[in-house]
Amino acid sequence: MTRDSSNCILTILLLFFLLFISITNYFSFRNIELYLTSSTNSDPFDVVALYQQESIKQLRKNALLTAENDRKLLFNASRLTNNQDFYRKVVEEAYCAQKERIGEKGDGGKYVCNPKKFIIMPEFLTINFRLISLGLNNQIGFDKHIYEATGRQCKILGADIYQQEQPTRDAYEKMNGELFAAKIPNDLTIPQMMEKTGRIDVEFLKIDIEKGEFTALEPLIKDYFVCQIFIEIHGLPSDHLRMLQIIAKYGFRIFNVDENLLCPLCCEYSMINELCMAQFEVVPLAITIPQLNS
């Protein structure tokens, strides 16, 4: 082969390479644009309309008028030992019209706000978590439902102190989920778990880890962006209040309270980050959890 013809081949290859780069660039920019337009249109109008409904305005007004007293009543109930009385005094701080109970009947179900509004991120945007499910006990109806409800786009990270039975492991595998068997946070902290999988953004967090919540949760919501939390808190009223106050410190508001009839010392709370309220069409009411005295 002459020197000239090899130069010519190199030039042609280079041109093809440049052509290839510009075509792939074009398509990836187009995808980002499509993603941005499809996820932002329609929502803002809906939220404004929602806030202007007469019944919603009334709800907010009442909430503001009673909030101070609600906080005092709750604080007083937290000093006593009647759990049921405490749960009934927790007043919802955000209004979600589209609450859905997801998961097993009885123990294991959680109230989620408007799960359809879960934003499905294309893989190439990489900031890609989605559901963290802590405390499984071979009950993964919740995880499966969320997976289906999001068009099987949801990445799931699950953990439990015990290794799960084979059918549970198979089901997780099918959902492309990642499963950890470790005691959280003693053997494995949530941030360690997140680092292992390289995910940094959490749409839904389900946490039911038998008092592990008192040490495990705060580092997670401090360092990662979480939208909704479904938590079962265990213990006396004062323990419940302390946990709710810690979560509230990071901008989460309660939109559902559900007593666990099988466990008198346990209660399920559903909370939403203020920064996610518009996305899930939620109206903030008044803050009813007394602030933590630093």
**Interface contacts to ligand NAG, rule CB under 6 A:** 69, 72-73, 76
Shortest Cβ 83–ligand NAG spacing (Å): 18
Shortest Cβ 72–ligand NAG spacing (Å): 4
Closest CB to ligand NAG among residues 91, 271: 91
Give the burial class of 288: count Cβ atoms within 10 A of its Cβ; 0-12 exposed, 13-18 middle, 19 or more buried.
Answer: buried
Task: Tell me how long the chain is.
Answer: 294
Shortest Cβ 94–ligand NAG spacing (Å): 23
Closest CB to ligand NAG among residues 135, 290: 290
Q: What distance in Å separates the CA atoms of residue 260 and residue 266, rounded to the nearest whole number?
A: 6
Phi, psi for residue 205 in degrees, rounded to 5: -125, 120
Closest CB to ligand NAG among residues 68, 210: 68
Shortest Cβ 75–ligand NAG spacing (Å): 7
Cβ 155 vs Cβ 128: under 8 Å = yes
- Across the strands, what pairs with 149? none
Closest CB to ligand NAG among residues 69, 138: 69
Cα distances (Å, whole numbers) of residue 255 to 70, 157, 218, 224, 235: 15, 24, 19, 21, 21
- Across the strands, what pairs with 228? 204, 272
Shortest Cβ 76–ligand NAG spacing (Å): 4
Closest CB to ligand NAG among residues 115, 290: 290
Look up tokens 């808190």; give the residue: 233
Token couple for 158: 């699950």
Question: Where are the extended beta strands (E) located within the chain?
Answer: 94-96, 99-102, 110-113, 130-134, 155-160, 178-181, 201-207, 225-234, 252-259, 266-273, 282-284
Q: Residue 136: which of 113, 154, 162 has the closest Cα?
A: 162
Shortest Cβ 91–ligand NAG spacing (Å): 13
Shortest Cβ 162–ligand NAG spacing (Å): 43
Closest CB to ligand NAG among residues 88, 169: 88
Closest CB to ligand NAG among residues 76, 126: 76
